[in-house]
Chains A and B, each alone.
Chain A
Amino acid sequence: MLDPSFIVAQLPAVLGAAAVTAWIWAASAILGVAGGVGIALARRFGPRPVDLALKFSIEMVRGSPFLVQLFLLYYGGPYVGLSLDPVPAGLLALTVYGAAYYSEIIRGGFAAVPPGHVEAAACLGFTHAQTLLRVEIPEVAAVVLPALVNMTILLLKETAVLSVITVPELTMAISAIGSESYRFVEALFLLALFYWGLVEGCGVLGRFAEARLARFGVAAP
């Protein structure tokens, strides 16, 4: 049933689409983590109204389906002067979606820093900025890394949704191949292979980062 020559013939198109998936994924993950850190810090150090506004927005993003958010941005955006092409719209929606989840993970990480460490840093004469940069952030990074990797894998799976607004990524390319040729077995095989490869790649990067960060790890109380 599986025809290797068919798969080989489709490879160039699929590789191109996989590259689109990979870069949108990587960009939204990096921007999303940056946004998540920003949100977590703004909620921690900003005035209370900012904290509440961000909390409400995060609740909205985490509570509603990504597809609805994508439609709201892509089809609703032009009515408020935000006309975006599919790729930027998809990237923006995915970044916002990721940032909401990442910020919650990071906020939880800050809560896990033992107060004693912060106090010890203060006793040693660290400024607030030094404490944040040299004590809290490294510890937070070590604690939240597995959850961040997890979320990043979820983000990869959300990139498939972008096919609905015609972003030329893997799922779109492969459903096109499937519906043109009716060879869904080969298409499935290719698709599973690529997503699996991307997830494994992310896992390898995550384990590497975990090993590097392990030295900042907080011992279990």
Chain B
Amino acid sequence: MNPALFRLLVEATGYTVALSAVSIVAGLAVGLAVATAMLSRRRALSMPARAFVSFFRGVPLLVQLLLIYNLLPSVGIDLPGIVAAAIGLTLCTAAYQAETLRGGFAGVPRGLVEAADMVGLTPVQLFWRIRVPIAVKLTLPSLVSEAIMILKASSLVSVVGVVELTRMAQDLAASTYRPLPIYATAGALYIAVDWGIAGLGHALERRSRWGRA
């Protein structure tokens, strides 16, 4: 393959990685909020959170992206494509992460929570210093596979015109009439990033041996 084409694809991979990284991190924050709301005893909080998770997990991401891209301008909010794409990916992964984090919160040993309460941690401290770190740690492996899912799902934002790896491959395939090597290379680049994420996940898991109960 032409080195110039390859460089363009690698550069576009950078955009894909950046978009996925932003969405995963923002999705973790939103997912944490949604998981907390889901576990709330107040139905006014838990019901909307459940509806959010059910909607964003049940409707195809492509449809969500098309909706955000088309619906927001029609109510007067005009966003650049890349922002709409990041919002769509964030909301989608937030729903999945909320569901896993909910399981993670359930796995926080009661004794730890009671002990923290006994030594005088405030509820806010207890949440941020005990429950959140342990829940995130417990769900780390599924967080890593979610990151890989989002990396692959980010290919869909090409449909709303954001130039990332898949869109770049499409443009190059159209202009060079060589779709086979270009799409195959794009696929290989995605797989290379997958491996990177998996490696990072293993490293994180090794580092976070703390908090074992």
Point out residues on A near B: beta carbons under 8 Å.
59-60, 63-69, 71-72, 75-76, 79-80, 156-161, 163-164, 171, 174-175, 178-179, 182, 184-185, 188, 191-192, 195-196, 199
Q: Show 26 A/B contacts (Cβ-Cβ < 8 Å), sorted by A.
A: A60-B191, A63-B152, A63-B190, A65-B187, A66-B155, A67-B155, A68-B155, A69-B187, A71-B170, A72-B184, A76-B173, A76-B183, A80-B180, A157-B59, A159-B60, A160-B63, A171-B66, A179-B70, A184-B67, A185-B71, A188-B67, A192-B55, A192-B59, A195-B58, A196-B58, A199-B58
Most buried by B among A67, A69, A72: A67
Closest to A164 in B: B159
Q: Which residues of A contact B146 (CB under 8 A)?
A: none
Interface size on B, residues (CB 8 A): 35
Q: Is B179 an interface residue (CB 8 A)?
A: yes
Q: How many angstroms from the CA of A127 to the CA of B61 in the assembled complex?
A: 48
Q: How many angstroms from the CA of A195 to the CA of B148 in the assembled complex?
A: 24
Total A-B residue contacts, Cβ distance less than 8 Å: 107
Q: Which residues of B contact A163 (CB under 8 A)?
A: 62
A175 adjacent to B152 (CB under 8 Å): no
Per-residue interface assignment for chain B, residues 66 to 84, with 1 indicating a CB less than 8 Å from any chain A CB and 0 otherwise: 1100110010000000000
Tell me how far the C-beta of A25 lies from the nearest C-beta in chain B, rounded to whole angstroms: 11
Q: Which residues of B contact A171 (CB under 8 A)?
A: 60, 62-63, 66
Q: How many angstroms from the CA of A182 to the CA of B63 in the assembled complex?
A: 15
Secondary structure at the B interface, as helix, strand, loop or mixed, is helix
Q: Which residues of B contact A69 (CB under 8 A)?
A: 187
Q: Which residues of A contact B191 (CB under 8 A)?
A: 59-60, 63-64
Q: Is B153 an interface residue (CB 8 A)?
A: yes
B184 adjacent to A178 (CB under 8 Å): no
Within 8 A of A (CB), among B140-159: 148, 152-156, 158-159
Q: Is B205 an interface residue (CB 8 A)?
A: no
A160 adjacent to B180 (CB under 8 Å): no
B190 adjacent to A75 (CB under 8 Å): no
Q: Is B138 an interface residue (CB 8 A)?
A: no
Q: How many angstroms from the CA of A191 to the CA of B66 in the assembled complex?
A: 12
Within 8 A of A (CB), among B159-208: 159, 166, 169-170, 173, 178-180, 183-184, 186-188, 190-191, 194
Tell me how far the C-beta of A199 lies from the nearest C-beta in chain B, rounded to whole angstroms: 6
A188 adjacent to B62 (CB under 8 Å): no
Closest to B178 in A: A79
